[in-house]
Amino acid sequence: MNVYPVILCGGSGTRLWPMSRGGYPKQYLKLAGDRTLVQQTALRLASAPDVGAPIVITNQNQRFLVADQLHSAGVTPSAIVLEPAGRNTAPAVAAAALLLAERDPDALMHVLPSDHIIADNVVFVRLTERAAEIAQSGRLVTFGIEPTMPHTGYGYIRGAEVLPSHADAYAVGAFIEKPDFETATRFLDEGGYYWNSGMFMMKVSTYLEELGRFEPEVLKHVKMSVTTARRDDDFIRLNAEAFEASPSISIDYAVMEQTDRAVVIAAAGLGWSDIGSWSSLADTCDKDERGNTVVGDVMTDDVERSYIRAEHRMVAAIGVQDLVVVETADAVLVAHRDETERVKKIVERLNASGRHESVTHRRVVRPWGMYESIDQGERFQVKRIIVNPGSSLSLQMHHHRAEHWIVVRGTALVLNDGQEQLLTENQSTYIPLGAKHRLQNPGKIPLELIEVQSGSYLNEDDIVRFEDNYGRDVAAM
């Protein structure tokens, strides 16, 4: 009985802005512990017996983030599958199931969101083993979290009759959409209701059979996208035309709410949270004697029941209660703890006005390394760039800006209008507007340089690529 984790890793996590952003969502952040949420998810079953390498489902823009973070955690996935467009969870899980079916149609897949916190891993492994036993018999198992409060932000599952020989597992009586407060309170009073965690255990063949029963169009199009996928050493790129033709639907709507084979297992003692807001993250954190959680360089005086996080500079708070304060290099959030769900409205306004703070941080990760904006004004911008050993940027040019590069650390191999130049510390070069150029690190240590851009337009979309090592779109030479 082999279990394969299927890690869903394409969300945006806007409710944890300003740390979680469209280009760097919460699953890639160290919000609880020394590892990021996706690393914690990938390692969660590493010690369990009969567990195979995970399949990760993500999108084109996040592929190198996933690959780099899994590599840093020592996890080698069996596949990183790239969705050409978001189609919700049913098509994503179908793609993983079809890939697993190529090697073992009776394999079990453990579907896991990549952005949850689970405090007790021992309990999680034990529940996984029990769920695997049930799923082996052809059941579709979902993990229900015992509610601790009348939460209106979760869907609920009502358990029906107890399964024979499984005292903590129930046939699913009903799935209930996010209720109002009065309904959620009634669910707690009556008992037998669980929060829908979005985690599932199921046999590959069972899921594909039920998906074909209830949503044959999803199965048809996803099967075509897998059959015609482009596969290389690093990624499986689903066929865009076929995948985008699939209906967009969740696994709950597509299968779990329609099948008569659904089972909910009471996942007690996990210490689970989907950290859907800053207040829910604060609830999971250790607190001092005044109910505060502070992260980073924070000083407080007469502060109570607050979550204060400093990522870039010192934050001081005096005489306040029940606040969430989150500081980053280019944005600061201040909110009452009871109002953090409204952060998404700020993100919507940022998107509507074209502000970059909803999408990128000042520090931006790239497959070759990273860059960080240092200063910006009219017709100029200054960046700090780090290129990993052996990596290179694309061969590119700009229509609207020139660049000056100063090497701070390491060695740079520069191609500038057909001429190669090797630069070391404290040396510099000038890239004229319109020149085809490439930056490469031929050394054994990271290359660090300062880039000064000047011109009439300095946004990142002024890049024409001619050659690229990372599968990004290139122009004709």
Question: What are the residue ranges spanned by the domains of the chain?
Answer: 3-273, 278-343, 363-467
**The tokens of 62 are what?**
């996040």
Q: Which amino acid, 379? A: R
Q: What is the pLDDT along the chain (477 residues), one digit of tens a residue?
A: 689 999 999 777 789 999 999 889 999 999 988 999 999 999 998 878 889 999 999 998 888 899 999 999 999 999 999 999 999 999 999 999 999 999 888 899 999 999 999 999 999 999 999 999 999 999 999 999 999 999 888 999 999 999 887 778 999 999 999 999 999 999 999 999 999 999 999 999 999 999 999 999 999 999 999 999 999 878 999 999 999 999 999 999 999 999 999 999 999 889 999 998 999 999 999 999 999 999 999 999 999 999 999 999 999 999 999 999 999 999 999 999 999 999 999 999 999 998 989 988 988 888 899 999 999 899 999 999 999 999 999 999 999 999 999 999 999 999 999 999 999 999 999 999 999 999 999 999 999 999 999 999 998 889 999 999 887 778 755
Q: Which amino acid, 130? A: R
Q: Which amino acid, 251? A: I
**E strand intervals along 136-255:** 140-145, 156-163, 166-176, 193-203, 230-231, 236-237
**465-476: burial string, b at 16+ Cβ within 10 Å, e else:** eeebeebeeeee
**E strand intervals along 338-394:** 363-366, 369-377, 380-387
477/467 Cα distance (integer angstroms): 9
To the question of domain 363-467 being in CATH 2.60.120.10, the answer is yes
217/213 Cα distance (integer angstroms): 10
pLDDT of residue 1: 63
**The tokens of 60 are what?**
């084109």
CA atoms within 13 A on the CB side of 34: 2
**92-103: burial string, b at 16+ Cβ within 10 Å, e else:** bbbbbbbbbbee
pLDDT of residue 60: 86
pLDDT of residue 477: 52
Q: What DSSP string runs through 274-296?
A: ---SHHHHHHHS---TTS-EEES
* Superfamily for domain range 3-273: Spore Coat Polysaccharide Biosynthesis Protein SpsA; Chain A (3.90.550.10)
169/261 Cα distance (integer angstroms): 13
363/356 Cα distance (integer angstroms): 12
Nearest one of 102, 61, 138 to 470, comparing CA atoms: 61
pLDDT of residue 10: 79
pLDDT of residue 282: 94
